[in-house]
Structure 1
Amino acid sequence: MSSEVFVRGMLYLSLTVIGVPGNTAVILAFLLLLHQENRLLPADAIVLHLACMNLLVVGVRCLLETLVSFELADVFSDVGCKAVIFIYRTSRSLSIWLTFVLSAYQCLSIAPPGSRWAAARALVARYLGCVFFFLWLLNTSMSSAAILFSFGKKSNSTMINHSINVQFCYVQFASKLSKEANGAVQVGRDVVPMALMTLASLIILVFLYKHSQQVKGLRSSRGGGGGSGGAERRATKAVVTLVTLYVVLYGVDNGLWVYTLTVRQTMKSSLISDLRIFFSSLYAALSPVVIIASNRKVNGQLRCVAQEKPIQEKATSLSTM
């Protein structure tokens, strides 16, 4: 095993070790909440769906890349490459769109009751299942090109000019036009929700800032100290962290993708593709950390599970005495 493959495997292993348990914990917390309350709030349902997509990103891409890098499995045949790249692209884009939906829903939630924006929020909550279905339909159709253009390396001894090397697979396009068109669709699919999500998050931050200023004004007029607005600060930090992660990581990802499309003979090296996959998968691995730290429901459910485990172990040990 070369040092390059070893380092690559260790990087993907680190994402797997962080992302798989983290997203699994978030999913488990919401499933426990659903079992207890028999329902989930719309925002909770969006976060649960988001965690499922992030788990797919890390599991299907990073975990398999780790296994193949350390020669523990060989799944990248023609069929394997088509399946992995299709599922990865679909789940990755769904993760972006779901975060936009979450940001938009949170933005609508600060609207005053009785306004048109509040009515729009109620409409989104009512037809959230239809929103999920539309996003699945949109992103699976946009990722369908991966089924046609992805091939395993072993079955391709001769490479055409319009190919992209993704380490264990090749993405081969019929022409330069098809390569650039597919790339433009992917960039547009990412940039549009990122821009809308950033706008929604900025609106939330402006609202929280104005609200905190109003609260400070009321406290100063009353001459009281009061609390420090911890809930507002936590919400602000969560929004800023998520937006920063998206803009930085997916911005780098799309910048590298544009470079791949415009520079000749990038197929000879998989370094650029490895960097793209790493940065886009890094969000899927880090987002559950942000969710667990900022979401009280998830944090509370995980604490309950952690507290129940030693109690059950103690009861078991007493029963065997």
Structure 2
Amino acid sequence: MSSEEFVHGMLYLLVTVVGVPSNIAVIVAFLLLIYEDKRLLTADAIILHLACANLLVVAVRGLMETLASFDLANVFGDTGCRIVLFIYRSSRALSIWLTFLLSAYQCLSIVPPGSRWGTARNILAQYLVFIFLLFWLLNTTMSQAAILFTFSSSNNSSLTKNAINVQFCYVNFPSALIKELNGAVQVGRDVVPMALMTVSSLIILVLLYKHSQQVKVLRSGRRKSGGGGGAEQRAAKAVVVLVTMYVILYGVDNGLWVYTLTVKKTMSSSLISDLRVFFASLYAAISPLVIIESNRKVNSRLRCAAREKPGLETRTCLSTK
């Protein structure tokens, strides 16, 4: 094994070791919450769905890359390449759109009482399942190139100059036009939610700043009456952190993707592809850590699960808010 392959394997092993357990922990915490309360709040449902999408990103791509890098399993034949890339690209894009949805909902949740945006928040909550289905349909449809044009790197006899090296696989576009169109679609699919979530996060920061100024002016009364909004404000701050992480990591990812599309002689080197997948997978691995640290529901239920014992103590722990 060359030093490059070893470093490649270790990077994806790190992403897998961090991302798989942390996303599973978030999912388990919300399953415990469902068991206790028999329902999920809208923001919690979005975070649960986000954790599932992130788990797919890390497990399907990070774990598969790790196994292949250390020659533990040969998963990247023609069929394996198509399945892995399709699931990875679909779940990666879904993670992006769910992060935008979460930022938009939290923005609507902290608007001043009586605002007309409260109606939009209620509509979003009412049609949340349909929004999830729309996101799945949109992102799987826009990932069809992974199925149509992907081949194993061992099957490179018919590669054209429009092929893109993605480490163990090639995406072999039939023409430069299709390659550029697909690239534009992929970038657009990421840039649109990036712009929207950036706007919503800026609005969140403005609202939080205004609230802090009001607290300074009306300390005693507003602190007591505004105590119920503390959880929403903490959640909003956590969302801003997630969005900032997304903009940085996926900004690098999309910058490298544009470089891949516009610069020639990238077919023979997989370094750019490695960096893209690593940065995209890094968000899926780190974001659940932010959720665990900032979300009291998740944190408390994981603590309960860690010290849980049969009998009355289990029920007492589950009943803790």
Same fold, TM-score > 0.5, yes or no: yes
1:230-269 aligned within 5 A: 234-235=234-235, 237-269=237-269
Question: Which stretch has the larger CA shift, 145-154 or 180-189?
Answer: 145-154
SS at match of 1:164: strand
Q: Does 1:8 align with 2:25?
A: no
Taking the aligned partners of 2:87 and 2:232, their CA distance within structure 1 comes to 37
CA apart distance, 1:220: 8.7
SS at match of 1:151: strand
1:161 corresponding residue in structure 2: 161
After superposition, the C-alpha distances for 1:15-53 in whole angstroms (9 at most, x for unaligned) are 000000000000000011001111001110000000000
Contact 1:9 1:70 in 2 (8 A): yes
CA apart distance, 1:244: 1.6
1:134 corresponding residue in structure 2: 134
1:48-197 aligned within 5 A: 48-197=48-197
Q: Does 1:213 align with 2:216?
A: no
TM-score, with structure 1 as normaliser:
0.91
SS at match of 2:218: helix
Query: Partner amino acid for 2:281?
Result: S
SS at match of 1:170: strand
After superposition, the C-alpha distances for 1:151-195 in whole angstroms (9 at most, x for unaligned) are 012222242100110110000001111000000000000000011
Q: Does 1:294 align with 2:294?
A: yes
Taking the aligned partners of 1:130 and 1:52, their CA distance within structure 2 comes to 17
Q: Could you say if the C-alpha distance between residues 109 and 237 of structure 1 is closer, same or farther in structure 2, counting changes exceeding 3 Å?
A: closer
Contact 1:208 1:232 in 2 (8 A): no
2:45 corresponding residue in structure 1: 45
1:316 corresponding residue in structure 2: none
Taking the aligned partners of 1:54 and 1:35, their CA distance within structure 2 comes to 22
Taking the aligned partners of 2:301 and 2:259, their CA distance within structure 1 comes to 44
Query: Partner amino acid for 2:118?
Result: A
1:315 corresponding residue in structure 2: none
SS at match of 1:267: coil
Question: Which stretch has the larger CA shift, 100-109 or 251-260?
Answer: 100-109
RMSD: 2.2
Contact 2:19 2:284 in 1 (8 A): yes
Taking the aligned partners of 1:4 and 1:127, their CA distance within structure 2 comes to 48
CA apart distance, 1:108: 1.1
Question: Which stretch has the larger CA shift, 239-248 or 5-14?
Answer: 239-248
Unaligned stretches of 5+ residues in structure 1: 313-321
SS at match of 1:266: coil
Taking the aligned partners of 1:175 and 1:221, their CA distance within structure 2 comes to 66
Taking the aligned partners of 1:114 and 1:122, their CA distance within structure 2 comes to 13
Unaligned stretches of 5+ residues in structure 2: 312-321
Taking the aligned partners of 1:296 and 1:233, their CA distance within structure 2 comes to 12
After superposition, the C-alpha distances for 1:41-94 in whole angstroms (9 at most, x for unaligned) are 111000000000000000000000000000000010111001000000000000
2:308 corresponding residue in structure 1: 308
TM-score, with structure 2 as normaliser:
0.91
Contact 2:107 2:201 in 1 (8 A): yes
Q: Could you say if the C-alpha distance between residues 123 and 236 of structure 1 is closer, same or farther in structure 2, counting changes exceeding 3 Å?
A: closer
Contact 2:106 2:232 in 1 (8 A): no
